[in-house]
C-alpha cells in the first residue's frame, strides 16, 4: 500500500515504488501519478523522475482500477480481444504502405470513446472504432529536399511526382490495384498532391481485403452518408485530410480511419470532451509495437492524460471550449454530450476555457445546463442555447 506521506520516503524507497509499478504493469509508457505533473517513461527514452512532488493517491486508485486485469469481466475481455483482433488485421494491411512508398513514415493508433468504454465499463458496448493514421516525411528526405513552411519549391514538387510514379510501379509488383497518377498530378499545390496521394494509396491498400468508402474533407458537409460526422468534433479539425470508413463482414466492428498530418497526441486536442482523450499508438514509424495476439499488451499501451484522471476523480465530463466556435459548442452539447451522459449518468458536464475571452458564453451555458439538469426540460434547454 502506498503511503500518504510519500514525501517522507527517501529516494531509494521512492525509486523502489516506481520500479514496482513498472514491473507490475510492464508498461512501455507508464504514467506516474505525481501532483501537477505526469512523468512518462517511453521505450528507449526514459526521463529523469523528480521525486520531490506529492504522489496522488486518487490518481493511483483510478489507475489501479482501470488496469487491474484481475477485475476484468469475461464480457470485457471478449470485447477487448475482438477490438485487438480488428486492429491486427487492419495493421497487417496498412504496413504494406512501407513496401510501396519511399517518402513517408506513419503512426497508427486507436483513440476516443470505444477505447475509453472498454477500459471503464464492465460490460462495454462498442459500436465502432476510430483509428488515427498520422503521416510524416521520412527524416532524411525532410533534411535533404523539402522546405519547411508553405513555400515549397518546384524541385520538391518534381521529386514528389517521381516518388508517386515509383509507388505506382511498386503497386504492380505487389499485386495491388492500379494507382492512377493523373488525378494526383492535376492538383495545384504540392500539399494537395500529398493529401490526394495518401488518401488514394491507403484506400487502395485497404480495399484489397476490406469493403470501404473514402470521404475527403471537402465532401463532409455535402455527403448524406456522413450526416452524423459533423456532430463529432474530431472530424471538424483542420488537420484532418479525410476518412476511410470500413464496413466488412470479416471484422468485428465498423472502423473509421482518420488520416491526418499531425502527431496523434496533438490530434487528440481536436476532441471536445476530456474523457475522450485517450489513445494507444500501436504502429510507430511503420512498425507494429505490440505482441501478436496479446490483448494485455494492448491495454498496457493505453495512455490517459491528466484531464481524464481529473474527470474520473471529480465525476465530471469537462469540455474546454477555447478552440471551438459557438456553433461547434452548441452542436457538441446537443449531439455528442448526450451519448456520453447516457454511459456516465452520474457525471456532470463542466465547461472550461479562457474566461477573459469566453467567460460570458461559459457562464451562460453552465447556468443553462444546471437548470436543464434540475428541471429536465430538454426542449427549453436547446432553445435557450440557440439564443446565446
pLDDT in tens, 183-241: 899 888 888 888 899 999 999 999 999 999 888 765 544 444 444 443 444 445 567 88
Which cell numbers in the block locate residue 300?
498496457
Pair 147, 241 in one domain: yes
Angle at which helices 74-94 and 113-120 pack, to 10 degrees? 150
CB-neighbour burial class of residue 93 (10 A; exposed 0-12, middle 13-18, buried 19+): middle
Choosing from 67, 97, 118, the residue where a domain stops is 67
Contact between 203 and 179 under an 8 Å Cβ cutoff? The reply is no
Which residue, 227, 232, 188, 204, is CA-closest to 336? Answer: 232
Pair 182, 293 in one domain: yes
Radius of gyration of the chain measured on its C-alpha atoms: 23
Q: How many Å separate Cα 256 from the centre of its chain? A: 11
Decide if 364 is inside a domain.
Answer: yes
Pair 166, 288 in one domain: yes
Q: For residue 92, is pLDDT > 90? A: yes
Decide if 239 is inside a domain.
Answer: yes
Per the structure, the count of domains in the chain is 3
d(CA 10, CA 8): 7
Q: Select, from the ranges 46-50, 132-136, 318-322, the one with the highest average predicted confidence (pLDDT).
A: 132-136
d(CA 208, CA 176): 7
Choosing from 272, 304, 336, the residue where a domain stops is 304
Q: For residue 30, is pLDDT > 70? A: no
CB-neighbour burial class of residue 19 (10 A; exposed 0-12, middle 13-18, buried 19+): exposed
Decide if 227 is inside a domain.
Answer: yes
Contacts of 307 (CB under 8 A, 6+ apart): 274, 277, 318
Q: Which domain holds residue 61?
A: 6-67
d(CA 276, CA 130): 11
d(CA 349, CA 372): 11
Decide if 309 is inside a domain.
Answer: no
pLDDT in tens, 274-330: 999 899 999 999 999 999 999 998 998 888 877 888 899 999 999 988 888 888 888
Pair 324, 356 in one domain: yes
Decide if 107 is inside a domain.
Answer: yes
d(CA 303, CA 196): 31
Pair 258, 387 in one domain: no
d(CA 81, CA 59): 26
Pair 209, 291 in one domain: yes
Which cell numbers in the block locate residue 387?
439564443
d(CA 131, CA 234): 11
pTM of this structure: 0.77
Contact between 245 and 211 under an 8 Å Cβ cutoff? The reply is no
d(CA 324, CA 328): 6
Pair 252, 360 in one domain: no
d(CA 117, CA 234): 18
d(CA 196, CA 379): 43
Choosing from 277, 304, 331, the residue where a domain stops is 304
pLDDT at 7: 60
| pLDDT interval class at 20 (50, 70, 90) | low
**Average per-residue pLDDT in the chain?**
77
Pair 11, 60 in one domain: yes
Say what the alpha-carbon torsion angle 322, 327, 328, 330 is, to the nearest 10 degrees.
Answer: 100
Decide if 310 is inside a domain.
Answer: no
DSSP string, 202-234: HHHHHHTTS-EEEEEGGGGGG-GGGTTGGGSGG
Pair 215, 356 in one domain: no
Pair 152, 182 in one domain: yes
H and E: helices and strands count for the chain: 16, 12
Which cell numbers in the block locate residue 49?
523522475
Amino acid at each position: 500500500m502506498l503511503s500518504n506521506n510519500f514525501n517522507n520516503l527517501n529516494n531509494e524507497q521512492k525509486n523502489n515504488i516506481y520500479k514496482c509499478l513498472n514491473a507490475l504493469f510492464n508498461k512501455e509508457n507508464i504514467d506516474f501519478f505525481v501532483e501537477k505533473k505526469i512523468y512518462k517513461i517511453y521505450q528507449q527514452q526514459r526521463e529523469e523522475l523528480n521525486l520531490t512532488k506529492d504522489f496522488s493517491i486518487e490518481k493511483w486508485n483510478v489507475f489501479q482500477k482501470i488496469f487491474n486485469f484481475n477485475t476484468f469481466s469475461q464480457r470485457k475481455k471478449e470485447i477487448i480481444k475482438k477490438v485487438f483482433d480488428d486492429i491486427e488485421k487492419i495493421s497487417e494491411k496498412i504496413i504494406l504502405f512501407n513496401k510501396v512508398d519511399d517518402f513517408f513514415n506513419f503512426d497508427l493508433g486507436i483513440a476516443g470513446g470505444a477505447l475509453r468504454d472498454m477500459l471503464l465499463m464492465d460490460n462495454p458496448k462498442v459500436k465502432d472504432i476510430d483509428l488515427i493514421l498520422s503521416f510524416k516525411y521520412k527524416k532524411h528526405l525532410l533534411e535533404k529536399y523539402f522546405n519547411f513552411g508553405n513555400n515549397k519549391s518546384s524541385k520538391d514538387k518534381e521529386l514528389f511526382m517521381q516518388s508517386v510514379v515509383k509507388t505506382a510501379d511498386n503497386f504492380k509488383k505487389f499485386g495491388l490495384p492500379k494507382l492512377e497518377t493523373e488525378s494526383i498530378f492535376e492538383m495545384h499545390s504540392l500539399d494537395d498532391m500529398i493529401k490526394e496521394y495518401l488518401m488514394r494509396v491507403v484506400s487502395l491498400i485497404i480495399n484489397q481485403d476490406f469493403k470501404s468508402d473514402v470521404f475527403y474533407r471537402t465532401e463532409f458537409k455535402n455527403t448524406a452518408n456522413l450526416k452524423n460526422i459533423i456532430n463529432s468534433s474530431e472530424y471538424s479539425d483542420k488537420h484532418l485530410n479525410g476518412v476511410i470508413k470500413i464496413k466488412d463482414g470479416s471484422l468485428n466492428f465498423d472502423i473509421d480511419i482518420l488520416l491526418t498530418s499531425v502527431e496523434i497526441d496533438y490530434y487528440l486536442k481536436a476532441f471536445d470532451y476530456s474523457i475522450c482523450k485517450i489513445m494507444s499508438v500501436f504502429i510507430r514509424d511503420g512498425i507494429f509495437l505490440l505482441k501478436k495476439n496479446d490483448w494485455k499488451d494492448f491495454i498496457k499501451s493505453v495512455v490517459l492524460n491528466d484531464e481524464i484522471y481529473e474527470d474520473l476523480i471529480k465525476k465530471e465530463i469537462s469540455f474546454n471550449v477555447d478552440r471551438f466556435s459557438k456553433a461547434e459548442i452548441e452542436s457538441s452539447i446537443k449531439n455528442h454530450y448526450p451519448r456520453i451522459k447516457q454511459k456516465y449518468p452520474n457525471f456532470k458536464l463542466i465547461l472550461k476555457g479562457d474566461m477573459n475571452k469566453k467567460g460570458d458564453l461559459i457562464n451562460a451555458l453552465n447556468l443553462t445546463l444546471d437548470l436543464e439538469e434540475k428541471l429536465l426540460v430538454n426542449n427549453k434547454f436547446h432553445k435557450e442555447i440557440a439564443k446565446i
